[in-house]
Amino acid sequence: MESMTMETYLWTTLGAFLSLCIFSFLYKDNPFYKFAEHLVAGLAAGYFVIILWHNGLKPNLFDYVGDGNFYLLWLDSSHPWYMVPAFLGALMWTRFSRKWSWVSRWPMAIYIGIGVGLSIPLGMRNAVNMQLFSTMRPMAWDNFLGNGYLDPTSGFSHLLIFVGMLAALFYFFFSKEHKGVFNGVAKFGIGILMIGFGATFGFTVMARISLFIQRIQKLGEWSSISWTDGAFTAIWLIVCGSFIAVGIYEFIKYMRNRGQTKAAA
């Protein structure tokens, strides 16, 4: 085990303590959880402001206009046109005034205009047309079963995608009553959609468990480091002991309440 200074250990302990605070929400909402939650929100906001200054405003604006004069709003700098987007950005702050908030619509309109102009052609081509072309590609009859299970280049996959896409669209066609063959196809479409949702659900479960695994790994590391030094062990015992004490207290309270509820019933 690599040696660790007390300073580093205290930071690690703080991380472990906050992890336990967050997990305590699984039992019920409590002040430990609230403290950790507010700390995360505050830290993220503060971090973002500093990052935005050092990575955004400074290198992309003030470094360019820095040779100008502050009292002339940097308009005498070597890059005076950089003040145009800066001015538009500043206008966004008029949102905080009831009287002048309409001014913020101008920079917003320009921003939306640029965004829409960029996104419509590129979005249409890459997120819509490409997917349509992929659905309508020639069927690979000569390679129907493909190489390995669910090979995306196989004819079977092409057929499944084409039929599944049509069936799913049938389900969302509400201008005709879902009866007979139409109903059968729509039901097949629901099945296809359910498989899709099931895959997403499975991935989501995996994702949530992964978050817990990483915390266990970190808590495990913290726990093993804690036994390398007497002072570390003492801190470890205090943190864990506090949580265990609160846990036992809450459990006794829960069992008492349960007994009282049963007696009342």
Partner 1 sequence: MNLFNRLMFLDRRWIFLLLALVCIITYVIPFEIPVTKTNEVRAIYNYIEALKPGDIIHLGVDYDPSSLAELHPMTYAIAEHAFRKNMKVIFTALSQNGPGMVDQAIRDLTDSMKLDRTYNGVFYKGREIKNGEDYAFLGYKPYPALVIYGMGQNYRIPFPSDYYGTPLDSIPIMKKVKNYDQVKCVVGIIAGNVADMWIVYGQGRYNFKLALGMTGVMGADYYPYLNTGQIFGIMGGLLGAAQYEDLADNQGPAKDGMRVQVFAHILIMIFIVLANIGFFMAKGSLMGKEVR
Q: Could you list the residues that contact partner 1 (CB under 8 A)? A: 26-27, 44, 47-48, 51-52, 55-56, 59-60, 63-64, 115, 118-119, 122-123, 125-127, 130-131, 133-134, 148, 152, 161, 196, 199-200, 203-207, 209-217, 220
Q: Are 186 and 159 in contact (CB under 8 A)?
A: no
Q: At its nearest, how many Å lie between partner 1 and the CB of residue 73?
A: 21
At residue 98, φ and ψ (nearest 5 deg) are: -65, -35
Q: At its nearest, how many Å lie between partner 1 and the CB of residue 79?
A: 11
Nearer to partner 1, 113 or 220 (CB): 220
Nearer to partner 1, 75 or 205 (CB): 205
Q: At its nearest, how many Å lie between partner 1 and the CB of residue 6?
A: 20
Sign of dihedral through CA atoms 174, 179, 184, 190? positive
Nearer to partner 1, 30 or 131 (CB): 131
Name the H helices within the chain: 6-23, 31-52, 63-65, 83-91, 105-123, 130-135, 155-171, 180-225, 230-264
Nearer to partner 1, 143 or 178 (CB): 143
Tell me the residue type at 216.
I
| d(C-alpha 87, C-alpha 57), whole Å | 13
Query: How long a stretch of residues is the chain?
Result: 265
Nearer to partner 1, 56 or 113 (CB): 56
Q: At its nearest, how many Å lie between partner 1 and the CB of residue 150?
A: 10
| d(C-alpha 237, C-alpha 163), whole Å | 61
Q: At its nearest, how many Å lie between partner 1 and the CB of residue 173?
A: 21
